[in-house]
Copies of this chain bind each other. A is one copy, B any other.
Amino acid sequence: MKLTILGCYAATPRTLTNPTSQVLEIKNHLFLIDCGEGTQVQLRKQRIKFSRINHIFISHLHGDHFFGLPGLVSTCRLLGRDKELNIYGPKGIKEAITLLLKLGDSWTNYPLRFHELSSKESMLILEDEKITVETIPLDHRVYTNGFLFKEKLGERKLNVEATRHYEIDKAFFNNIKKGKDIVTEMGEIISNSELSFDPPKPKSYAFCSDTMYNPKIISLIKEVDGLYHEATFLESEAHLAKKTKHSTAKEAAHIAKEASVGKLILGHYSTRYTSIELFKKEALEVFEKVELADDGKIFEF
């Protein structure tokens, strides 16, 4: 699982910082999470092909999280896209994008499929053989979801030595990987656990932005390998965090600690601070595995 931060600053695009957008590579998918203004340019800088993105997840309809989307949708048309593009986001997102394309008389010539969200409960919104994506209801000024990306438990790994020892025909290998016991020609049962190893632990990643401190999410994100949690403010501005329904670095760290996550990645920094190192310092007082998101930075889980 590879996470590329395209933008991780709050509010407005600036000369050297970008509003929220990131790309998660998971089991051959390239998922785009949020799409602030400038996302197209950031994708190009990272040499990520637009055509590889088939699913876009939008947390909420504040501009710094989706004003790059109309342009991206239009550019995909200009690039000759023909594959379906799926957009998951709050109710209203379809009307917004549709209106902008209609005004320009430039409807896409590829299928654009909207999955509008309005539930206040966590929902499974995408599933295939290898992954699931669920919503994480957040608590912000407008209706907002985080997203939980999980690999499914893979096939068991063949114990090649054991299969040789028992002289098992290759024809049985698929069944062994699926966890089945084997019955030999002599009628002897060989337990699957002798013939295979446990598959690697599936990885998981949770994106939680924007939100105020919300302990209800802890059960949903328990033990994820990576948690991106917004930290718009430091504790010295806790009153602003409360007023604008954002979190402080310390609050993000408390969530990470209670959820026993593998790694906390902080982001969505207010542009009032001159150094983001202060966010790490504050979070480290509560939880030890803290990293700072920054535009262009890559995390691997």
Contact = CB atoms under 8 A, between A and B. Distances in A.
A63 B97 CA distance: 11
Which among A11, A41, A96, A142 has the highest number of chain B CB atoms within 10 Å? A41
A99 interface: yes
A209 B96 CA distance: 25
Contacts of A12: 40, 71, 74-75, 78
Interface stretch (A22-30, A100-108, A218-226, A248-256): A100-108
A41 B62 contact: no
Given A63-B70, A104-B62, A11 B78 contact: yes
Contacts of A70: 63, 67
Nearest to A44: B15
A141 interface: yes
Interface string A1-29: 00000000001111100000000000000
Interface in A237-286: none
Interface in A75-121: 75, 78, 90, 92-93, 95-96, 99-100, 103-106
B95 A44 contact: no
Contacts of A15: 41, 44-45
Interface in A41-81: 41, 44-45, 60-64, 67-68, 70-71, 74-75, 78
Contact of A14 (B44, B61, B93, B95): B44
A230 interface: no
A232 to B, nearest CB: 13
Which among A13, A38, A93, A99 has the highest number of chain B CB atoms within 10 Å? A13
**Number of identical monomers bound together in the oligomeric complex:** 2
A37 interface: yes
A258 B67 CA distance: 41
B104 A37 contact: no
Contacts of A141: 105
A104 B61 contact: yes
Contacts of A41: 13-15, 38
A103 B96 contact: yes
Contacts of A71: 12-13, 37, 63-64, 67
Contact of A99 (B11, B60, B96): B96
A73 to B, nearest CB: 9
Given A12-B78, A60-B104, 8 more contacts: A12-B71, A12-B75, A14-B40, A62-B104, A64-B74, A67-B67, A96-B103, A104-B142
18 contacts: A11-B75, A11-B78, A12-B75, A13-B40, A13-B41, A14-B40, A15-B41, A15-B44, A15-B45, A37-B37, A61-B104, A63-B74, A63-B100, A67-B70, A67-B74, A67-B100, A90-B103, A105-B142
